Amino acid sequence: MNAKAQKAPPTQLSEAELRHYTPEQVFELGLLPFKPSTLRKKAQAYEIPHSRAAAKITFRLSHIRQIAEQCDASPLANRPAA
């Protein structure tokens, strides 16, 4: 590093951002409108973002946000012509 370059400060992640939720917790907390079995099936098919550790499927808040955005629908006026 030269004298002018500075290290960027580490980003602070909240405990909630780092927490992993099971498919059951995601459903019970109402974070997504999918049943646990649907979340598992979509994760196993790599259709939705998720984490896998020790063969367990979990979701962080960043995954949940991405999944929610995938479900967003645009008004007809904003859709590209076919």
Residue range 2-23, pLDDT digits in tens? 556 677 666 777 887 889 999 9
The number of domains in the chain is 1
Would residue 23 count as lying in a domain? yes
Please check whether residue 39 is in contact with residue 46, taking contact to mean a CB–CB distance below 8 angstroms. Answer: no
Would residue 38 count as lying in a domain? yes
Per-residue pLDDT 10s for the chain (82 aa) are 555 667 766 677 788 788 999 999 999 999 999 999 999 999 999 999 999 999 999 999 999 999 999 998 888 776 666 6
Nearest of 79, 76, 38, 80 to residue 67 by alpha carbon:
38
Domain around 23: 15-70
pTM: 0.73
Q: How far is CA 44 from the centre of its chain?
A: 15
